[in-house]
Chains A and B, each alone.
Chain A
Amino acid sequence: MEKESMMLPEEIEQAVRTLENPDIADFRSKGGRTIGFFCSYVPEELLNVEGLASFRMRAVDCRGSEIADSYMGVFNCSYTRQCLEKGLEGAYDFLDGFVFVPGCDHLRRLYDNWAHFVKPAFLALVDAPHVRDEDALKWYRDEIECLWEKLAGQFSLPQEREAVWAGIRKTNRTRQLLEELDRRRWQDPPGLSGARMQEISLFAASVPKERANPVLEDLIAHVKTEALTEPYRARVLLVGSHLDDPGFVGVLEETGALVVRDAYCCGLRDQLGLVADVGEERDPFAAIARRYLDRLSCPRMYGDYPRRMERIVRMAEEARVDGIILEQLKFCETWGIDGNVLQNDLKARGFPVLRLEREYLLSGKGQTRTRVQAFLESMGK
């Protein structure tokens, strides 16, 4: 595919390329505090109340993980090892605290290593449940309230629930705007590429929402009037584990597989679904918990496979994709096992499926291209 005509503002590209971006620096210079979070089950809304800004943890520009490899195992996923490497280097010193969820074996142990070696001033863990039922909802709700109490104590935040609702509304707005952009992407002809959408998502996850929202509004206005003009060979849905590298999506798209929709961690999967804001007498913590349990789940939510599968099928049908690519980080057991079952079931439903295993740092581009080309050819594209 030729280079895409739509250019993103430099501000977005900078936020994607670097860890500490000017918007964060500006926010902090005015007294704001920024909190890094590691899993899509961290209730981001609480990290976006007045005076706080959330930052989705990435290991941008990491060149290796030699030190972290000696602390963790080489069979741990490279995302967690690269983040630990960066943490040990002090690359996240611009953040005022960190929130984890024991999302998987690797993240749970990254939390332990973070506490032991990085020793940040503020560290919290939200124990998100692994099942979906009313008890799990109550458990999650209480965990979220507990996080709120810790944040409020540490950062002298107002105790009123209205402060939480304000964070919810701000985050909901970002999600609405991203969903709107996403719809422009999967229309026919598509409004923007998957790599661009990934950059926009990362930007929104890396700067204060006060800054992200107006930029997203401008982008929507721009995309409304333009459609992607470059040729592509097939429309695909990209599904899978943590992926915060537009370069990887770029490799798929250069080969002709246009990612018109996605359901991977750090992509649109995290953004789908809003916290229901039905009135301030409602319990904000329960509302947040329900949103996170009801959205398209990660395979960490065991027992939710049938619902997850149906949501993915629906997304694929809505976007009229030609095929589905499942990507996963190497050593991710949840995606490794779930992905194999998913692949078979999606094929049984008539979707061509390609599974790609990858490392956090973009590597093996040639091999990936070859596999995608073969996949496209197998679809007659």
Chain B
Amino acid sequence: MGRISIRQQVREIPLKARNFSSLASLLARIGPVEFIRLYRRFPWLQQAAGIHRLMDHGMNYRNSVAEVIHLIFQYVCGVLEAHVKNPESLVWYEELLTPEIPRAMGFTTFMTESMGLVFPLVDRDGAIPYLDRTENSGFPADMCSFIKASLGMVLARELPKPRLILTTNSPCDSAMAGYLPIEKELGVPIFRLDHPFDTNERSLEYYARGLWKMIDFIERETGRKMDFDRLKEICEERNRASEYLLEFRELLRSRPAPLGGLLLTLSLFGPMLLPGTEAATKLCKHLRDEAKRRVERKVGAVRDERIRVILWNPPFLIDGGLFHWMEESFGAVVVMDMLAYRSYSTIDTSTPDSMIRGLAYDMMKGPMARHTRGPARNYYEDLIRLFREYEADMVLIASHQGCKNALAIAGILREVFRKQEIPFLDIQYDLVDPRITSPEDIRNQVSRFMETVMADRSG
């Protein structure tokens, strides 16, 4: 981690202060008694308060990381306020089911896996108590730790209870099956969408029908009615954010890449946590503007970009500083990854049917949904395409041990890469649990690869 100049520190004061202001306004809205109760009931809030450390992982683009942190604050404060003031208005959704529909019905939405995403980024050991909780309750140690952490939080009763849950069978069996104990523990109604294997006209129609059934389910369970005018507003807001993100993605093709891997990972937070909101659009616009400004000035994520990397599979959450370290140590910049390469299609808002169909399409084409629930060819064809489009030099496969889908195509990938003469490094690790492969070991593996296979470029 480099040193931060006094000027930068001063510049960051308002960026951090607005987050404390979000907390203060939550305090004002719910009152001090409830505020303290929240802190006692959800001990992880203390851990989450350390989220500003994320900025240290993105030394070369701290301001942009600060924007993402601000969005996370808004998200968490919104959920906590709903939990205190109107618990019946809180709906949980699974990570690959975008929440525009319940939001259009007036619900506050919470992504079940969101804390599992944030904890390890803030503190590499942050999710361990919850992983242990799940395993000690008899669930398999080898299930995906992403859902394992969320299940642990549910078992520990440390998440705000929802009115109902919406889920899908994507991206994997762990995520699919993991919602059974969550449902049993919470005792709330749950709706399950069925994601077919492949994406085509017929499966899209089937999936979209599933969304219509989901609307019926929510209406039946809660008595609230679907508001398609509100959904239209949300989808239009979402379309604006998508435009920015598509531009942002395009700008990352520049040499040098204007922003690095951490920002790619964090760029997901807007579309995942608060899609169709002004906050998400603002974040996406910031990312686009920042990338554009840097491209115009020829400022890269790192001063001397030597290696362009495509990262495949979910990023190394247990080592948020990995990207910065790769940039500084080897001039290696992650220019695109699987999760950032999601579908940002424009949703046709002309009719209710076109909106539902557009949302269904985006979910089916989403990262992991099409890669792990779908056929292997989606997984490697997207990767090869991006490798060419982004003029990359190598591929880094983050082989999360809980992802049986990705592990099972190691041989296919090896063959495809060799045929295409693509250098690749495959690191076996766990997304959320640093006890499987430590961040230090991950960096050692990267070092060895850079110093041998990529020696002619890494300097």
Interface: B348 (CB within 8 A): no
> A226 interface residue, CB < 8 Å from B?
no
Interface positions, chain A 90-127, Cβ under 8 Å from B, are 102, 104-106, 108-110, 112-113, 116-117, 125, 127
**What residues on A are CB-neighbors of B404 within 8 Å?**
73, 75-76, 105-106, 109, 331, 333
Check if A113 sits within 8 Å of B409, measured CB to CB.
Answer: yes
Q: Which residues of A contact B178 (CB under 8 A)?
A: 337
Contact of A135 among B177, B184, B209, B410 (CB under 8 A): B209
Is A136 part of the contact surface with B, judged by Cβ < 8 Å? yes
Determine how close the nearest CB of chain B comes to the CB of A233; give it in whole angstroms.
26
Q: List A residues 106-161 near B (Cβ within 8 Å).
A: 106, 108-110, 112-113, 116-117, 125, 127, 129-131, 133, 135-136, 139, 142
CB-contact partner of B180 in A105, A337, A355, under 8 A: A337
* Least CB distance, A86 to chain B, in whole angstroms: 16
Flag if B180 contacts A338 (CB, 8 Å).
yes
Considering only residues 251-282 of chain B, those with a C-beta below 8 Å from chain A are: none
| A104 and B197 contact, CB distance less than 8 A | no
Q: A334 at the A/B interface (Cβ < 8 Å)?
A: yes
A5 at the interface (CB under 8 A from B): no
What is the chain A residue whose CB lies nearest that of B407? Answer: A73
Shortest C-beta distance, A242 to chain B (Å), equals 14
Give 1 or 0 for each of B198-218: 1 = CB within 8 Å of chain A CB. Answer: 100011001001100100000
Are A130 and B194 in contact, with the CB atoms below 8 A? Answer: yes
- Residue numbers in A under 8 Å from B408 (CB-CB): 72-73, 76, 80, 105-106, 109-110, 112-113
Name B370-395 residues within 8 Å CB distance of A.
372, 375-377
> Is there contact, CB below 8 Å, between B192 and A303?
yes
Contact A117 B411 (CB under 8 A): yes
Complex CA distance for A302 and B177, rounded to whole angstroms:
7
**Does chain A have a CB within 8 A of B169?**
yes
**Distance (Å) between the CB of B150 and the closest chain A CB?**
13
List chain A residues, Cβ under 8 A from B177.
299, 302, 333-334, 336-338
Q: Would B194 and A343 count as touching, CB distance under 8 A?
A: no
In the assembled complex, A62 has its CB within 8 A of some CB on chain B: no
Q: Is the CB of A302 within 8 A of B140?
A: no
For A336, list chain B residues within 8 Å (CB): 139-140, 142-143, 177
Residues of B within 8 A of A104 (CB): 173
Interface string of A321-342 (1 = CB under 8 A from B): 0000000001101101110110
Name 17 interchain pairs, CB-CB below 8 A, sorted by A: A72-B409, A73-B408, A76-B404, A108-B405, A112-B375, A112-B412, A113-B408, A129-B194, A130-B192, A135-B206, A303-B190, A330-B142, A331-B404, A333-B140, A334-B176, A336-B140, A337-B181
* B interface residues, Cβ below 8 angstroms from A: 137-140, 142-144, 169, 172-174, 176-181, 184, 190, 192, 194-198, 202-203, 206, 209-210, 213, 372, 375-377, 399, 401-402, 404-405, 407-412, 415
